Structure 1
Amino acid sequence: MPERTLRRRWGIWWLWGWLCCGLVLWSPLLGAQPTTDALELRVYSSPEGLHLSTELPVELPKAIEDALQQGIPLFFVAEAQVLRQRWYWSAQTVAQTVRYMRLSYQPLTRRWRLVVSPSPIDRSGLGVVPGNNHDSLAEALAAMKRIARWKIADAPALEAGGQYVVQLRFRLDTSQLPRTLQVGMLGRSSWNLVLQGSQPVLWELAP
């Protein structure tokens, strides 16, 4: 093998080794990958459209629970998409629905409050969006985890005999956290709470 080719190969391997080392050293600073668990989805068809039910396996890390106990409200987002499978092209999004949740602790009353809305919730929590009070965090989480018969697509958007995939993604909206807390959580994987899942569906109802 010519000496020039050998030096070039050694240079490539040396550069690759340094890149790998750099990724290992910098990964804690860049933030670990989000904690992602698969969701079990149950999708139902009706003359009105597609409905989604699931039980979110949400387990709050201690850092998140401590923030709640200190009176810091946390915001969660559940995003559902209905994709149409196409053999000749990439999947087409035919419907997209979002559910916003605000979980907070009220130290004066020692009660937990959960607000659920189809539109973004103001950080202050004020407005016309109704909420429910709960006596414990476990009770509030149980209400937040339960998604029952959530309408995610209207019938006119679906084609009879069409093959679809329903995708659900649940996450903690860290952009709604106080700025000081956002800086402090840099590199902490416990704040990257993400759950996601998918389910194929065949729409057989005529429009």
Structure 2
Amino acid sequence: MLAVLLWAWAMWMVLLLPAPAAAQGRNGTSITQMRLEQSDDGVYFSAAVQFELPSLVEEVLDKGIAIYFVAEAELYQERWYWTDRKVAQVARHMRLAYQPLTRRWRLNVSAAPMTGAAGLGISLNQNFDTLGDALDAIKRIGRLRLGDVAEIGDDPQHQVTFRFRLDTSQLPRPFQIGVVGQADWNIAAERTAKLPLEKQK
């Protein structure tokens, strides 16, 4: 009887563990770098993502329709007696749009989803001459603040899960219906790693 209970408990624990994350995601998207850094005002996460924008998505952009990307980082505290505890979570929402009048690309960056005009009021704005320059800025996820050192702890290593995706849920409703099942819109990657907490130089 004890053996059966131990087996059932072990199976239950396996089900609770998160699935291993892959650095290589859908549509050739990959997470090439991840870094955790401690500075005087908190702990920051940075990452680098690599992906190619499919021609179908470029065509939508050329028509003046904005597309959205989301980058999310979660930091966990390991516990030998139970599942890992989520200590911190942060997200960055990015809206990319072509401005036909100026022939420039505008990137809005916010900590919250930017649905509707009201969401753009609290975002940082950058303008770029080329689509390539705008995408390079999206691929560099810099200094996402996870919290204070007191909240996170000063362990030498922390487990971090990072996700990056093209967010089709923020597209106009007709496009949301049209992109269902289309591989071109499936840009996403996820990676989990133990990262050293580096001191800012």
The interval holding the TM-score normalised by the smaller chain is 0.7 to 0.9
Verify: 1:188 aligned to 2:182, yes or no.
yes
- Asked if the contact 2:30–2:49 (Cα under 8 Å) also holds between the matched residues in 1, the reply is no
Q: Map 1:47-196 to 2 at 5 A.
A: 47-124=40-117, 126-161=120-155, 163-196=157-190
Q: Distance in 2 between the 1:81 and 1:195 partners?
A: 14
Q: Distance in 2 between the 1:128 and 1:149 partners?
A: 18
From the CA coordinates, give the structure whose radius of gyration is larger.
1
- Asked if the contact 2:37–2:198 (Cα under 8 Å) also holds between the matched residues in 1, the reply is no
Match of 2:39 in 1: 46
Q: Percent identity?
A: 43
- What SS is found at the alignment partner of 1:127? helix
Q: Map 1:8-23 to 2 at 5 A.
A: none
Alpha carbons of 1:48 and 1:130: their partners in 2 closer, same or farther (altered >3 Å)?
closer
Alpha carbons of 1:130 and 1:162: their partners in 2 closer, same or farther (altered >3 Å)?
closer
Q: Taking structure 1 as the reference length, what is the TM-score of the superposition? A: 0.74
Specify every segment of 5 or more residues in structure 2 that has no aligned partner in the other structure, as ranges: 1-24
Structure 1 residue 152: deviation in Å?
2.0
Alpha carbons of 1:192 and 1:167: their partners in 2 closer, same or farther (altered >3 Å)?
same
Specify every segment of 5 or more residues in structure 1 that has no aligned partner in the other structure, as ranges: 1-32
Structure 1 residue 136: deviation in Å?
0.7
Alpha carbons of 1:83 and 1:72: their partners in 2 closer, same or farther (altered >3 Å)?
same
Alpha carbons of 1:160 and 1:185: their partners in 2 closer, same or farther (altered >3 Å)?
closer
- After superposition, give the CA deviation of every residue in 1:14-35 in whole Å (9 maximum; x if it has no partner): xxxxxxxxxxxxxxxxxxx943
- What SS is found at the alignment partner of 1:165? strand
* RMSD of aligned alpha carbons: 2.3
Q: Distance in 2 between the 1:59 and 1:96 partners?
A: 27
Match of 2:4 in 1: none
Structure 1 residue 187: deviation in Å?
1.5
Q: Distance in 2 between the 1:195 and 1:204 partners?
A: 24
Q: Distance in 1 between the 2:86 and 2:64 partners?
A: 38
- Asked if the contact 2:54–2:184 (Cα under 8 Å) also holds between the matched residues in 1, the reply is yes
| Deviation beyond 6 Å, 4+ runs, structure 1 | none
Amino acid at match of 1:134: F
Q: Taking structure 2 as the reference length, what is the TM-score of the superposition? A: 0.76
Q: Distance in 2 between the 1:53 and 1:194 partners?
A: 17
Match of 1:14 in 2: none
Verify: 1:37 aligned to 2:37, yes or no.
no
